Structure 1
């Protein structure tokens, strides 16, 4: 980043979540290197920002089930792919998440 340039800060709205996808596998389990066009799109990533939650019909905010730092799984074609400050990210709604990875 150039001197004096500010980093982009994303604040998702409502029940949207910003996810940094994990890197696609470069090798198979047997050690064979995969070309870029043969690599599968990642379907998991780390939550880097989360909105305040969905607004219910009575005007109350519903709590989000994920928070910043969680690892989540999502569908192959879910959300919108966006590039911010040279970094590929994905913006999805909470309802598009399939699971939260727990340890």
Structure 2
């Protein structure tokens, strides 16, 4: 993906590239595709300017944790991304 995102999120929205799902467990057991969990960690690709009195805290390149069913899945340049509100982000790692 290019250094500049082709989409600019508005207000307090953030675009996140989800981390790949785990391939094996800590014990070495390979997880089949049907049993893989949806990732809850990702990297911020772009962030909006924020609301009138609340600037966005996260910035491009931050690794964040977000809720399991948060946001909307979108496809940008052939890659799966997630767009969500900053309030849906639980922590910066």
Structure 2 length as normaliser, TM-score?
Answer: 0.91
Q: How far apart are the structure 2 equivalents of 1:52 and 1:95?
A: 14
Point out the structure with max Rg over C-alpha.
1
Within the alignment, does 1:19 sit opposite 2:11 as a pair?
no
Answering whether residue 34 of structure 2 is matched by residue 37 of structure 1, we say yes
1:83 aligned residue: 75
Contact map agreement 1:22 1:45 (CA 8 A) in 2: yes
Rounded Cα–Cα distance in structure 1 between residues aligned with 2:86 and 2:27: 36
Contiguous gaps of at least 5 residues in structure 2: none
TM-score normalised per structure 1: 0.82
Contact 1:17–1:49 (CA<8 Å) still a contact in 2?
A: yes
Q: Distance in 2 between matches of 1:85 and 1:8?
A: 9
Structure 1: any 5+ residue segments left out of the alignment?
1-6, 57-61
Q: CA deviation at 1:55?
A: 2.4
Detail structure 1 runs of 4+ shifted over 2 Å in the superposition.
Answer: none
What do you get for the CA RMSD once the two structures are aligned?
Answer: 1.4
